[in-house]
Amino acid sequence: MTDGDATGAAIDVFGLEDRTFPPPALLAAAANVRDLSLYEEAERDPEAFWARQARELVTWQRDFDTVLEWDLPFAKWFVGGQLNISENCLDRHVAAGRGDRVAFHWEGEPGDTRTITYAELLADVQRFANVLKGLGVEKGDRVNIYMPMIPELPVAMLACARIGAPHSVVFGGFSAESLSDRINDAEAKVLVTADGGYRRGAPANLKGSADAACASSPSIEHVVVVRRTGEAVTMLEGRDHWWHDLMGAAGPTCPPEPLDSEHLLYLLYTSGTTAKPKGIMHTTGGYLTQVAFTHKNVFDLHDGDVYWCAADIGWVTGHSYIVYGPLANGATSVLYEGTPDTPGRDRWWDIIERYKVSILYCAPTAIRTFMKWGTAEPGKHDLSSLRVLGSVGEPINPEAWMWYREHIGGDQCPIVDTWWQTETGGIMISPLPGVTTTKPGSATFPLPGIGAEVVDDAGKAVDRGSGGYLTLTRPWPGMLRGIYGDPDRYRETYWSRFPGRYFAGDGAKLDDDGYLWLLGRVDDVMNVSGHRISTTEVESALVDHQEVAEAAVVGAKDETTGQAIVAFVTVKGGVATTRELGEELRHHVAHKIGPTARPKTVIFTDDLPKTRSGKIMRRLLRDVAEGRDLGDTTTLADPAVVEEIRRRAEAAPQDES
């Protein structure tokens, strides 16, 4: 944290919102949770509550002896228990006679479709598990996955889980360098990828980036390549193998390996306040319990529902709420490869109408984009199959919430605004659609079994009507078990700011009725369209460019994406600050990290405002960025901006923090 950004004063008080929406009577009458007794049970004895959920929702090969071992900040849940997640997601549904149930209605961006039943998914997962074994992958070995949104992606993840090989999925939009960093941190043996995928009507190459990454990732012994687009790719003899060749030759059965409850299920890298992404560790029994519990109850899942989480599997939302939660619950899901405006801006609404989607889970940035595109687009389609709407990834502003409710939900569907993080593994704060009266823009209350509190700078719980920092007061089953290879950073990042509590990095307000309002990050992490990006990571990418002397990056408020990345850049002596250079820098960052991290605006300045102790005053830069109407690529050395920074820096109190 720098320049005092994280003081209570920086947390603005949310506007008064007095509209309330009680659960619809019909839904409430048949909901999985119909009254508050679940909250009461969990409050009386959280461990007993989670133990009951673990035994009811999960099939154990061996029952656990101890519910929780808590050696702050290290937790072990359901100790002594053994299970296999792929068995929970597949075999047990097939054994119960539900093999013909559709697991995924998959739709490619060009319009090609595949319907995959639980029995078919199980068959593919067993074969691919044998493929991995054949490539020398053993229990405990890490496998990297870098793929578009095609069915082979969940197949690869579940095959890893079946043999106890932790996976590390890297979002397909990341660059070769980001992929390579993550492979090297995990020391993965095998990389599973594809020739490419479809984005905005054209094939997007992945294998080229995978090749570039492998060139600096010595641990990779084999690369498995799915043929998706049919574009030409280079296959390296001995290292690279086509998915279909290996699958054709693999044995059809592979029994699920019994794994300890605390066996590492996956690593997922996320941005923190330093340049190096953190490998968040999630394990088996506790994680599965929490994602199954939350998926069933937050979305009020019933037989016959068609569920669609429109996130990418490359992010935690896809891990927990496209793959593990829904499959553990035997749900039928839609899986869509592409963008929402291909071929038209009604693609999502067309999908919902055709598959009769009843539960939709997406991000506020998508909703705000749809708002801009207008009500005519959803208006062309019959959306009456919808019964529950979810939101995740960033604060949802009340206008977007109301638009979602009226124009997508036809004023009928409860909205569950779900707060959680890569680190929490599953949803933590959310309404339950059959019991919670919602307010537009509030994530309402912690779920049963979860302890959350807003505290002030001194760590004291705030009174109703006040703001502060969101903390979690007790361990929960899906919590991260640490940062891969760095226990000290784990303790320091999450458990040191407020002793005994988990610090989420988010500001929050408790209103007069005890509702929680999440206000966004209070640290140097930006949230752009629901993607977490570290200011430091973008700054180091900029400074890595040979013409750049110094850079400061801030997240400025943006109507559509929540925040937009604005970079203030000082160039080396003699370098001309041209529009072309600005363009080149934006491209450079996209190339180093990935297109999601590309700055929206680059502003050249002669100097960056600093505190006497030499820290860049990001808050001031953010004020400058937010106070101006910044175009998409304002890359000119704008003397007015520089002047403004200088004037404000002079007027600003010299903050020594």
Minimal distance, residue 175 CB to ligand WTA, in Å = 18
Q: Which is nearer to ligand WTA, 284 or 422 (CB)?
A: 422
Q: Which is nearer to ligand WTA, 240 or 394 (CB)?
A: 394
Of the residues 122, 150, 223, 443, which one makes contact with ligand WTA according to CB under 6 A: 443
Q: Does 313 bind ligand WTA (CB under 6 A)?
A: no
The dihedral sign for the CA sequence 497, 502, 503, 507: negative
CA distance 395 to 12: 13
Taking each helix axis from N to C end, the angle separating 285-298 and 46-57, rounded to the nearest 10 degrees, works out to 90
Contact 31, 435 (CB under 8 A): yes
Q: Does 394 bind ligand WTA (CB under 6 A)?
A: yes
Kindly give, in sequence order, each residue whose CB lies less than 8 Å from that of residue 281, ignoring residues fewer than 6 positions away. 264, 266, 267, 480, 481, 482, 483, 484
How many residues bind ligand WTA, per CB under 6 A?
23
Q: Which is nearer to ligand WTA, 64 or 361 (CB)?
A: 361
Q: Does 535 bind ligand WTA (CB under 6 A)?
A: no
CA distance 483 to 269: 9
Contact 342, 200 (CB under 8 A): yes
CA angle 333, 436, 34 (to 5 degrees): 75
How are the residues of the chain apportioned to helix, strand and coil, as percentages rounded to the nearest 5?
Answer: 35, 25, 45
Q: Which is nearer to ligand WTA, 131 or 564 (CB)?
A: 564
Of the residues 39, 198, 420, 494, which one makes contact with ligand WTA according to CB under 6 A: 420
Of the residues 141, 181, 260, 506, which one makes contact with ligand WTA according to CB under 6 A: 506
For residues 340 to 379, the per-residue mask of contacts with ligand WTA, x marking binding by CB under 6 A and - elsewhere, is ----------------------------------------
Of the residues 262, 417, 453, 523, which one makes contact with ligand WTA according to CB under 6 A: 417
Q: Report helix, strand or coil for 603.
A: strand
Contact 454, 471 (CB under 8 A): yes
Residues within window 215-274 making contact with ligand WTA, judged by CB under 6 A: 270
Of the residues 151, 197, 330, 393, which one makes contact with ligand WTA according to CB under 6 A: 393
Q: Which is nearer to ligand WTA, 60 or 484 (CB)?
A: 484
CA distance 214 to 198: 23
Cis omega (within 30 of 0) on the bond before 343? yes
| Separation of CA 454 from chain center | 23
Minimal distance, residue 48 CB to ligand WTA, in Å = 28
Q: Does 317 bind ligand WTA (CB under 6 A)?
A: yes
Q: Which is nearer to ligand WTA, 8 or 80 (CB)?
A: 8
Q: Does 561 bind ligand WTA (CB under 6 A)?
A: no
Q: Report helix, strand or coil for 417.
A: strand
Minimal distance, residue 511 CB to ligand WTA, in Å = 15
Q: Which is nearer to ligand WTA, 403 or 420 (CB)?
A: 420
Of the residues 105, 296, 521, 586, which one makes contact with ligand WTA according to CB under 6 A: 521
Q: Centre a 10 Å sphere on the Cβ of residue 621 and count the other Cβ atoms it contains.
A: 26
CA distance to 582, 586, 593, 621, per residue, from 603 (Å): 8, 11, 20, 11
Minimal distance, residue 268 CB to ligand WTA, in Å = 9
Q: Does 418 bind ligand WTA (CB under 6 A)?
A: yes
* Count of residues in the chain: 657
* Contact region with ligand WTA (CB under 6 A), list: 130-138, 188-196, 206-214, 392-400: 392-400
Binding site for ligand WTA (CB under 6 A): 270, 315-317, 392-395, 417-422, 443, 504-506, 518, 520-521, 527, 532
